[in-house]
Amino acid sequence: MVKAVLFDLDGTLLDRDASVNQFVSVQYDRLNKHLSHIPKNDYIARFIELDCHGHVWKDKVYQDLVSEFAIEGMSWQSLLEDYEMQFQNHCVPFEFLTEMLTELKDRGYLLGIITNGRSPFQARAIDGLAIRDYFDAILISEVEQVRKPQVEIFQRAMNRLGVSALESVFIGDHPEVDIVGAKGAMMKTIWKRNLSWTEAKEADAIVDELKEIPLVLAHFNSR
């Protein structure tokens, strides 16, 4: 019987590609005084390229942008601070996010998030989506000093929720970090399909949209 549903954040609840696009576009307009010599599309495209789907932290991204585009009057540190403070205002949810969370809460599931990333940046993104109150446990790797796919972070989350692996489902977009990791902790898994990977062999179920999740959980419980 599933009692707890745990989620990855980036690419699963937060539409990170849309969020980054929106943020960088607005940052360019806001800081136009220092960036106007760069064509806007070039600034956005280069940021996205250097960011490498979030795998490169933004200190490195802004250092490269400042040097490549010869940005003057604004240091990479100031650009990074702007990112850290402003990104939360551009957090774009995947469709049906709050509807899905409301439905799971109404059905009595405990909810959790396990995200690899920095704190307080990830915490601000959760607030940017305005979903904190839905969750009974939130684990951010920098705080926990352990990260997915390490089994320990999944086990720690289940301990905090007071549930066993047999009672827990993990939902994420990364076949290795999320799905193989959670399987290692003996959890059931749902892969949120996306264009970055062709398959997640180990997943117990696959969804394309968040609204499909309540039905998949009901199906797990009927087996």
Task: Give me the residues that bind Mg ion (CB under 5 A), please.
Answer: 8, 10-11, 173
Smallest separation (angstroms) from Mg ion to the CB of 16: 8
Residue number with CB closer to Mg ion (10 or 15): 10
User: What is the Cα 207 distance to its own chain's centre?
Assistant: 16
Residue number with CB closer to Mg ion (21 or 78): 21
Furthest-apart CA atoms within the chain: distance in Å: 62
Smallest separation (angstroms) from Mg ion to the CB of 13: 9
Smallest separation (angstroms) from Mg ion to the CB of 113: 11
Smallest separation (angstroms) from Mg ion to the CB of 172: 6
* d(C-alpha 207, C-alpha 216), whole Å: 8
Q: Do residues 62 and 83 touch, judged by C-beta distance below 8 A?
A: yes
User: What is the Cα 84 distance to its own chain's centre?
Assistant: 15
The rounded radius of gyration (Å) of the Cα atoms in the chain is 19
* d(C-alpha 207, C-alpha 44), whole Å: 30
Q: Which residue is nearest to Mg ion (CB)?
A: 11
Residue number with CB closer to Mg ion (35 or 178): 178
